[in-house]
Amino acid sequence: VLRGKIAATGAHNMSAVKLDLLADAPPAARFDRYDLVCLLMVLHHIPATDLILERFYALLESPGTLCVADLDREDGSFHDSAFSGHKGFDRDRLGEQARRAGFRNARFQTIFDNAKVSGTSVKSFPLFLMVAEK
DSSP 8-class letter at 14? -
Nearest residue to 129 via CA among 116, 110, 114, 113: 110
pLDDT of 75: 93
Digit-coded pLDDT (tens) for 48-80: 999 999 999 998 999 999 999 999 999 999 998
Taking the C-alpha atoms of residue 93 and residue 88, their distance in angstroms, rounded to an integer, is: 11
pTM: 0.84
* pLDDT beyond 80 at 121: yes
pLDDT interval class at 40 (50, 70, 90): very high
- The dihedral built from the CA positions of residue 104, 65, 70 and 83, taken in this order, carries a sign that is negative
Taking the C-alpha atoms of residue 56 and residue 65, their distance in angstroms, rounded to an integer, is: 10
